[in-house]
Amino acid sequence: MTLAERIAAFRDIAEEWLRGLYHGLINHPAYEKIENEAEDIEDAFMLACFPDAFGIPSPVSYYTAELLPYLEDEFEAWERRMWDRGSLLERKGSQYHF
Amino acid sequence: MRKFVFFGGKGGVGKTTVSSAYAYKCANAGLRTLVVSTDPAHSTSDVFDQQFDDSPKPVDGIENLDAMELDPEEEVSRHLQGIKRSLSSQVSPAMVNEIDRQVEMAHQTPGAYEAALFDRFVDVMRESDEYDRVVFDTSPTGGTLRLLSLPEFLEGWAERLLAKRKQSVRLFERAAIGGREPRRMREGDPVIAQLEERRDRFALAGELLREEAAFFLVVNPDELSIRETKRAISSLDDATLDVRGLVVNKLTPEPDDDENGRGARFLRERVRTERERLNTLREEFDKPVVAEIVTRIAEVKGDLLVEVAAEIDVEVRPEPVE
C-alpha cells in the first residue's frame, strides 16, 4: 500500500466518523427538538379543538369534530401523550441530551 | 328595508305574530317573501293553520309568501352522519371506535344545538336568492342573541386554530432535515383546508348580519319585557348589528268614556300604567317605536293578521345594498 492510499483510507474513516459525530451531536438532536416543539404546539391545538375529551365543555367542538376524520394519528398520539405525561417539566427536560 | 329582517324579544311577547304579520305585509306588497321560524315551539304553523318543515313551502291562500321551520335537532344528526361517513372512509377500523366516541360527545355538548341552528341560519341566508325578503322569527332573546354574536367569536376561534396548526406543520416540515419525509405537510393538509372553509363561512355570516340584516325587538308593556329589551338592544349594538326599532305588542284596549263598570275601571287603570311604560320606551330608548299593537280577543290569524299587518309601520320597500 502506498502512502497516498493509506492517507486516502484514513481520510475515509475520518470523514465517516465526523459525519456520524455531526449527525449525533448536532443534526439529530436538532430535528428531534424541532419535532418535539411541533408536537407541543400540536398538543395545544388538539386541546383547543377537543377540550371535552378532558371534561371541559367547548362551544366549538361541534365544528372541530369535522376535523377528526383527518386527525386519526394525531388524536391517538395526543391522547397518549396527554395521559402519560408526568409534568410539563418532565417533557421539556427530555428534550435535552444530558 | 334590508333583505333579512329579524324579530326578537322575550318569550311570549308575540314575535311569531308580528313576524308573520310583517311577512304578510311584504308579500302583499309584491315582494317574494320567506318567513323562517327558528323557535323550537314552532307556532308559525298555528298562525297559518298549515304544517311547515325544514324546506320552504308556499303558504296557502297568500301569494308570494313561503314559510319554513328550522329544526336544529335534524341538522345535528345530519352533521353527525356526515362526519361518521367520512370517518369510516378515512380512519382505520382500530381507531374508529375511539374517535367515534369523541364525535358523539361533541354532538351532545350544550353548544351543538346552537351551532346547528347557526349553520341553518347561514344556509338559509346564502340560498335566499329567489326571495326579496327573508323574515326571521327568532327564538327567545338569550339564545338568539348569543347566536347572532357568534360569527365574530367563531371566526376568531377558527383563525387561532388555523394559526396553531400552520405553526406545527411548519415545524414538522423544518424538522425534516436532509431530505427526510416530513411528518405533516402544509400542502394539501385537510385540516387546514377544513378550518379555512369554516373561517370563511363565519366571516360571510358576520358580513351578512352586519350589512344586510335589520333587527326589530318585540316588547310588551310590562317591566320585565322592557328590561330584557334594554339588555337585548345593548348587546345587539355591541355586536354592531342594526336595530331599527321596537314593536310594542299586547297593549290593552281602552274602554269607552261612558262605561263605568268594574271591567271598564280595570281597563282604564291598566291603560294608564301602560301609557307610562310606553313613554319610558319612547324616552329612554334611542330606537323608535314602530308599531303599537292592541291585544286581540282571538288568536291572530286570517283576517286578524291582515289587521295587525296594517298596524306595523315598518318600511317594506327593499333598500339598495351599498
What does the block give as the cell for A12?
A: 475515509
Among B276, B26, B289, B243, smallest CA distance to B141 is for B243
Kindly list the residues from chain A whose CB atom is less than 8 angstroms away from the CB atom of residue B95: 72, 75-76
Verify whether the Cβ–Cβ distance B105 to A39 is below 8 Å: no
pLDDT at position A10 = 93
Whole-number Å distance between alpha carbons of B119 and B142:
18
Q: How far is B223 from chain A, CA to nearest CA, in Å? A: 32
Q: Are strands B4-9 and B57-58 parallel, antiparallel or unpaired?
A: unpaired
Element (H, E) at B103: helix B93-106
pLDDT at position A88 = 60
What mean pLDDT is reported for chain A? Answer: 80
Kindly list the residues from chain B whose CB atom is less than 8 angstroms away from the CB atom of residue A48: 160-161, 164
Task: Give how far Cα A30 sits from Cα of A18, A91, A93, B264, Å.
Answer: 17, 16, 15, 89
Q: Strand pairing partners for B217?
A: B8, B246
pLDDT at position B321 = 54
Q: Is there a contact between B34 and B66 (Cβ–Cβ < 8 Å)?
A: yes
Per-residue model confidence as pLDDT tens digits over B292-313: 888 877 777 777 777 778 878 7
Query: For A62, which of B98, B112, B161 is closest by C-beta distance?
Result: B112
Task: Give how far Cα B186 sits from Cα of A39, A59, B175, B194, Å.
Answer: 15, 27, 13, 13
What does the block give as the cell for B58?
A: 308556499
Which residues does B315 contact at the CB level (< 8 Å), separation at least 6?
B1
Interface mutation target, options A46, A66, A73, A82, chain B, most CBs of B under 10 Å: A66
Q: How far is A24 from chain B, CA to nearest CA, in Å? A: 13
Q: How far is A32 from chain B, CA to nearest CA, in Å? A: 7
Closest CA in chain A for residue B109: A57
Among B236, B202, B207, smallest CA distance to B8 is for B236
**Which three-class secondary structure string do you get for chain A?**
CCHHHHHHHHHHHHHHHHHHHHHHHHHHHHHHHHHHHHHHHHHHHHHHHCHHHHCCCCCCHHHHHHHHHHCHHHHHHHHHHHHHCCCHHHHHHCCCCC
Q: Are strands B57-58 and B33-37 parallel, antiparallel or unpaired?
A: unpaired
Query: For A50, which of B102, B115, B190 is closest by C-beta distance?
Result: B102
Verify whether the Cβ–Cβ distance A59 to B103 is below 8 Å: no
Verify whether the Cβ–Cβ distance B178 to A52 is below 8 Å: no
Q: Give exposure, B135-166, as e/b (b: 16+ Cβ within 10 Å).
A: bbbbbbbebbbebbbbbbebbebbbebbebbb
Verify whether the Cβ–Cβ distance B177 to A76 is below 8 Å: no
Given the cut 0.85, state whether the ipTM is greater than it: no
pLDDT at position B10 = 81
Residue A94 has φ and ψ, to the nearest 5°, of -70, -5
Whole-number Å distance between alpha carbons of B152 and B174:
33
Of the pLDDT bands very low, low, confident and very high (cuts 50, 70, 90), residue A91 is low
Verify whether the Cβ–Cβ distance A63 to B103 is below 8 Å: no
Which residues of chain B are under the pLDDT cut of 70? 42, 140-146, 177-180, 319-322
Q: How far is A31 from chain B, CA to nearest CA, in Å? A: 5
What does the block give as the cell for B229?
A: 329589551
pLDDT at position B255 = 84
Verify whether the Cβ–Cβ distance B171 to A59 is below 8 Å: no
Q: Is there a contact between A46 and A70 (Cβ–Cβ < 8 Å)?
A: no
pLDDT at position B67 = 92
Verify whether the Cβ–Cβ distance A75 to B161 is below 8 Å: no
Whole-number Å distance between alpha carbons of B118 and B154:
11
> In which residue are the cell numbers 355570516 written?
B205
Terminal CA-CA length for chain A: 43
Closest CA in chain B for residue A76: B95
Verify whether the Cβ–Cβ distance B99 to A61 is below 8 Å: no
Per-residue model confidence as pLDDT tens digits over A11-23: 999 999 998 888 8
pLDDT at position B85 = 87
